[in-house]
Structure 1
C-alpha cells in the first residue's frame, strides 16, 4: 500500500509538473487562451491535493498576467477562483491576501461585469471570518475606497470609506467629490450626511469608535476645505449643529440633543434623510425609544422636524455659547 501510494503521488506530481511546463510554454508563446485554460486546470488539480495556498498563488499570478495582456474577462474569472478558494479554505484575513485582493480590485476595469460579484464575495468572505466586523474588514474597505477614488468614482469610494474607519482620507475624498459633483451651496451637506451615517454605524456593531471616526471626519473636512473658516461659530449653521452634536454625544445629554434638533430645523430640513439618521442616533446614544413605541417628546419633535417653518437665527447666537466645558 505504501509503495502504491508513493507511486501514485509521484505520478500525480509528474502530471502537475508537465502541466506547469506546458503553461510556461504557452505564456512564452503568447497563447493567452491556452494559458487561461491551464491556470484553471492547475488550480483544481492543486486544490484536489489540498495545496490551496499554492493554488491561490497560481491563479493570482495568472490573473495579473492576463490583466497585463488586457484579457480582462479571463483575468476576472481567475480572480473569482482566488476568492472561491478563500471562501472555502481560509479563515483569517491577513495582510498578504488584503494586498492581493486590493491589487486585483484596482486592476480590474470598473465596467467589467465580474467586478460586482468579486467585490461582494470578498466582503462577504471577510465578514464571515470570526471576530470580523459585520460590514467586512476595514482594510479591505479602505483598499476598495482608495481604488475608486483614484478613478474618480466618488459614489463608490464614499460607500467603502464609510466602513473603512479612516475619517481623514474620507474627508479629503468628500472635499474633492463636492468640488467635482456638488453644487456650490451643498458642500456642507456632503459632510453632514457622512458624519451622521458614521454615527449610525455604532448600532450596527461595526465601529467601537464611531464617534472618534466621526470627529476625525468632521475636523479634517473643516480644516482642509478652503471654503470653511476655522473661526467659530461657523458661517454655515449645519456645521455648528455637527460640532455641538459631537460634544453632546460625549455627554449623552438628551435635552441638549433635542434642543439642537429644534434650533437647527431649517438646516436639517435641507436633506430629508437627516430625520432617519437622527432617530437612530437618538436611540443609540441617548436612549430614545423607537417610534414604534408610544410617542414621547422627542418622537413628536422628529415627526414635526420637517414641517415647522420657524426661521433659523442667522448668527445662531442661541447655541454658540455652548462649549465643551458646559
Structure 2
C-alpha cells in the first residue's frame, strides 16, 4: 500500500477517444450557453477527423492537452468541464487516482469526485489519512471558487466512507473544521474566518483607512 502523498504515475495507454469526446452533449457553463464551450456530438467521419487532428502519432499527455485546448474553444480556459469529467472517469477506471482527482476538480462533478476519493483512500491510503483526502479536495474546490462542488464532495465522502462515523460532528477534528468552513463560506460569514485566522494562525487584521476610505 502506498500513501496518497507518495506520488502517482501516469499510465501510458492511450484513452479511447470515443469515451473522452464523442458521447458528450453540448453543455453550458454557469447556466449560459456558449459556443466556445460546447462539445459537439461526433460520429463517423467527424470523429475520425477530430481523432486525426488531436491524436495522430502523439503521446497521451500531448493528446489530453490538445483535447482540452480544443474543448475550450480558444478561450484560454482549462477545458470544458464535461471533457474533464470523462478524463477523470477514464483515469479512475485505470486506478490513476492522482490524475483523476485533478480532472474531477475541473469537472464540477463533486459526487463522482467523492466516490473516487473513497476508493482511493480505502485502496491506497492509511487510516490516519481518511480526513486528508476530502479536506484537500474541498480546499481545492474552494480555491477554484466552486462552493457547490466543495459541499457535495464533502457530504458524499463523509457519508459513504466506511471509516467515517456518521456526522456532523465528526470524530476527526479536521472534518469538523472543514464542516464549519463550508458553513461559513455558504453563509457568507467570512469575517469569522478572518477572526479565526487572527486568533489561531497569526494572520494580521485587515487595514482600514481613515476618513471612511477617502485617504
Q: Shorter-chain TM-score: what band?
A: 0.5 to 0.7
Per the TM alignment, residue 91 of structure 1 is displaced from its structure 2 partner at its CA by 5.9
- In the other structure, the counterpart of 1:178 is 121
Q: Distance in 1 between matches of 2:200 and 2:156?
A: 22
Per the TM alignment, residue 92 of structure 1 is displaced from its structure 2 partner at its CA by 6.3
- In the other structure, the counterpart of 1:118 is 63
Per the TM alignment, residue 229 of structure 1 is displaced from its structure 2 partner at its CA by 1.7
Deviation track 1:118-164 (CA, whole Å, cap 9, x = no partner) reads 0001111222345xx82210110000000000011111111111101
- Residues 258, 175 of structure 1: CA spacing in aligned structure 2 closer, same or farther, 3 A cutoff? same
Max radius of gyration: which structure?
1
Aligned equivalent of 1:250, options 186, 210, 215: 186
TM score, norm. by length of structure 2: 0.67
What aligned pairs does 1:38-77 form with structure 2 within 5 A after superposition? none
- Residues 252, 174 of structure 1: CA spacing in aligned structure 2 closer, same or farther, 3 A cutoff? same
Q: Distance in 2 between matches of 1:187 and 1:156?
A: 19
Per the TM alignment, residue 264 of structure 1 is displaced from its structure 2 partner at its CA by 7.7
Paired residues of 1:92 and 1:129 also in contact (CA < 8 A)? no
Q: Distance in 2 between matches of 1:173 and 1:260?
A: 32
Higher relative contact order (CA 8 A, sep 6+): 2
- Residues 175, 250 of structure 1: CA spacing in aligned structure 2 closer, same or farther, 3 A cutoff? same
- Residues 264, 155 of structure 1: CA spacing in aligned structure 2 closer, same or farther, 3 A cutoff? farther
Gaps of 5+ in 2: 1-12, 17-34, 208-215
Q: Does 1:230 align with 2:166?
A: yes
Per the TM alignment, residue 232 of structure 1 is displaced from its structure 2 partner at its CA by 2.7
Per the TM alignment, residue 239 of structure 1 is displaced from its structure 2 partner at its CA by 0.7
- In the other structure, the counterpart of 2:177 is 241
What aligned pairs does 1:1-326 form with structure 2 within 5 A after superposition? 93-97=38-42, 114-129=59-74, 134-202=77-145, 210-261=146-197, 296-297=204-205
Per the TM alignment, residue 213 of structure 1 is displaced from its structure 2 partner at its CA by 0.8
Deviation track 1:192-214 (CA, whole Å, cap 9, x = no partner) reads 01000000012xxxxxxx11111
Gaps of 5+ in 1: 1-71, 77-89, 203-209, 266-294, 300-326
Look up the SS of the partner of 1:96 in the other structure.
Answer: coil
- Residues 123, 177 of structure 1: CA spacing in aligned structure 2 closer, same or farther, 3 A cutoff? same
